Amino acid sequence: MTNSLEDYRKVTPPGSVDLLYHMSEKVKGKSLLNINSTRSGGGVAEILNRLVPMLNELEIKVGWEIIQGSEGFFKVTKAFHNALQGRDPGISDRMYQLYIEENRENAKRLTFDADMILVHDPQPAALIDYGDRAGKWVWRCHIDISQPARRVWRFLKNYVLKYDAAIFSLPAFAQKLPIPKFLIYPSIDPLSDKNRELSRREVNKILDRLGIPRDKPILLQVSRFDRFKDPVGVIQAYRIVKKHNDCRLILVGGGAADDPEGDVVLQEVREAAGKDPDIHVLLLPPDSNIEVNALQRAATIVLQKSLREGFGLTVAEAMWKGKPVVGGFAGGITVQIMYYHTGYTVSSVEGAAFRVRHLLNNPEIGRKMGSDAKEYIRRNFLITRQLADYLTLMAALTNGR
């Protein structure tokens, strides 16, 4: 079901929807093309699936294309992703060449006829060498490139410098660039299947279908199976907690078409879980939004123990459902969690276990944190705010300012 903008009046801060209608007058009739690497799996695709119809409702012509590639191409771009976040797996000259060749081939089948072309992340960044330059080109970086492997960043920077502007999710993520840079936080859609209200009956029905008992407190982490999300570290923290507090751990992940490492990490997680009946490792399809919603609502405490993180919107999703979150001190998690007020950030397995135990032993603190967390997300991280940011950017760039 597609929600109209009017539906958001009941969940967003007062005046949010009226502001969008007013701002859209500046760019009504203009065109925007988004280009990324997948239509499902991962935060970028999820955001675009919601933003595109909302922008169209505001009479902005929005297109969405995906870059296609071989298995080898996506292995290269995953290596880029890891290297830009500081873990250099070693990238050969042939891998760089494959990246260039497959971007060139994609450019042949794409049409870049738009007032603004928004290119998401490293995978399609080289398209700018082959696309029509009549519109404004903007590179939208969703990952943490504050400490990248230098050779990979030098290679990618050659393309980024050709863009008219770049967008980052946090000031700390940005590199020094001579082009204009903008800060736009990602967001969640409060009316999507992943975040809308569910009845207790709906939640219980889904838990039963997934084989999750409701007999003890639930610790939950929802993430792709990626080493930077540290799912094995979550299991280690759970084992410390389990010595003192009886609880259940659920690790939920899904695959993404542009992430070839997921199966390997999933196997590592299953081996770490062993035969513990209170650890549930769930591999769900990318469209399992209702299931994720139900699991987050059933959880007592939500973890996001990332070692490196782009933004980590699973934190905002859990907070929107009134849950206290224990997150890694990484990326956008530090912006979403207000320490001691809406959750805790930690830097170690032991720290995560300590904070989880504290919340389990003091449920009234968890309830107050969860209530404050929901209001914090309402004010700062709902999709209407991100939509307003994009309207502002589009007006500034396409109206010649």
Distance CA 105, CA 269 (A): 37
The SS3 call for residue 378 is helix
> Cα dihedral angle (45, 46, 52, 54), rounded to 10 degrees?
-170
pLDDT band at 133 (very low <50, low <70, confident <90, very high): confident
The SS3 call for residue 64 is strand
pLDDT band at 158 (very low <50, low <70, confident <90, very high): very high
Looking at the predicted structure, is the pLDDT value of residue 258 above 60?
A: no
Q: What is residue 296's predicted lDDT score, i.e. its pLDDT?
A: 98
Closest among 306, 257, 315 to 286, alpha carbons compared: 257
Percentage of residues in the chain having pLDDT higher than 70: 97
The SS3 call for residue 380 is helix
Q: What is the pTM of this model?
A: 0.87
172: phi then psi, degrees, rounded to nearest 5 = -65, -20
The sign of the CA dihedral 72, 73, 76, 81 is: negative
Distance CA 385, CA 137 (A): 22
Distance CA 89, CA 78 (A): 10
The SS3 call for residue 24 is helix
**Interval 278-298: pLDDT, tens:** 999 999 998 899 999 999 999
Q: Which domains does the chain have, with CATH numbers?
A: 5-187+382-398 (3.40.50.2000), 200-380 (3.40.50.2000)
**Interval 82-110: pLDDT, tens:** 899 887 778 899 999 999 999 999 999 99
**Interval 335-378: pLDDT, tens:** 999 998 999 999 999 999 999 999 999 999 999 999 999 999 99
The residue behind tokens 């400490």 is 147
Q: What is residue 112's predicted lDDT score, i.e. its pLDDT?
A: 94
Where is 318: in which H helix or E strand? helix 313-320
Closest among 27, 71, 186 to 121, alpha carbons compared: 186
Q: What is residue 59's predicted lDDT score, i.e. its pLDDT?
A: 95
Per-residue pLDDT, averaged over 39-47, amounts to 81
